C-alpha cells in the first residue's frame, strides 16, 4: 500500500463522517471531514508530512517556509517541516493567527524569525470548501512581505475553493479531492 493509499484509509476511518453538519463557511453539508483526527495521529502526521513535502519538492519555486491558519494547519505545517528535516532539506514552519497577538509584537504570523526575509512560501490547509480562510491567510502573509507561490490541501471538498483561489491567481494542489477520497470518480 502506498503512503497515499494509507492516508486515504486513515482519513476514511478517523475523519470522515456522514450526517448533517454546518461548515466553517456557514454552508450545510451531508458529510464532514475532521482532518485533525487523522493528522494528529502519529501515522497520519507522518504520512501527510511526507506527501506534502513531496508536493513541495515538485514545485518549481524554492520554498523558504510552510505555514497556514491556526488551528487546522498547525499539525500540517509541523509534520511537513519535520519531514523536510528528515530528508535533510529543512523548511521552517509558521502559523497565522486568527486574531493579531494582543500584546508584545502584535503579529499575525508566528515563526517569522526562522523564515528568510521575503521568501516564497507554501500555504497548507486540512480541508478546503470555499477558500475564504486561505484568502485571509494570503493577505496576512503577503502583508508581511512574503510571497505565496504554492497552496496545498489534504482534501478539497470541491465546493468552489479551487475556483475562488484561481480567480485570485493561485492554484490549489490537493492530496485528495472529495471525489478521489470517496471514490466518486
Range of the domain at 165: 3-181
C-alpha to C-alpha distance for 106 and 121, rounded to whole angstroms: 21
CATH code of 109's domain: 3.40.50.2020
Judged by average pLDDT, the poorest of 34-38, 69-73, 92-96, 103-107 is 103-107
Q: Coil, strand, or helix at residue 128? A: strand
Q: Quote the CA–CA distance of 96 and 43 in Å, as a whole number.
A: 25
Distances (CA, A) of 20 to 13, 28, 29, 30: 18, 7, 6, 5
pTM of the full predicted structure? 0.95
Average pLDDT of the chain to the nearest whole number: 94
pLDDT in tens, 2-24: 999 999 999 999 999 999 999 88
DSSP-derived letter for residue 114 is G
Instruction: Please tell me the predicted confidence (pLDDT) of residue 92.
Output: 98
* Domains contained in the chain, number: 1
Residue 25 phi, psi dihedral angles, 5° rounding: -75, -10
Amino acid at each position: 500500500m502506498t503512503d497515499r493509499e494509507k492516508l486515504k484509509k486513515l482519513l476514511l476511518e478517523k475523519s470522515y463522517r456522514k450526517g448533517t453538519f454546518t461548515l466553517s463557511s456557514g454552508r450545510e453539508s451531508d458529510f464532514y471531514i475532521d482532518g485533525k483526527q487523522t493528522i494528529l495521529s502519529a501515522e497520519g502526521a507522518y504520512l501527510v508530512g511526507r506527501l506534502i513535502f513531496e508536493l513541495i519538492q515538485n514545485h518549481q519555486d524554492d520554498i523558504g517556509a510552510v505555514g497556514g491558519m491556526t488551528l487546522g494547519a498547525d499539525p500540517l505545517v509541523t509534520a511537513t517541516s519535520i519531514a523536510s528535516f528528515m530528508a535533510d532539506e529543512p523548511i521552517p514552519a509558521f502559523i497565522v493567527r486568527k486574531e493579531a497577538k494582543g500584546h508584545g509584537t502584535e503579529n499575525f504570523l508566528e515563526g517569522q524569525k526562522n523564515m528568510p526575509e521575503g521568501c516564497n512560501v507554501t500555504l497548507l490547509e486540512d480541508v478546503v470548501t470555499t477558500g475564504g480562510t486561505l484568502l485571509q491567510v494570503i493577505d496576512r502573509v503577503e502583508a508581511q512581505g512574503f510571497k505565496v507561490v504554492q497552496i496545498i490541501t489534504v482534501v478539497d471538498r470541491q465546493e468552489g475553493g479551487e475556483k475562488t483561489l484561481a480567480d485570485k491567481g493561485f492554484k490549489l494542489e490537493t492530496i485528495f479531492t472529495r471525489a478521489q477520497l470517496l471514490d466518486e470518480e
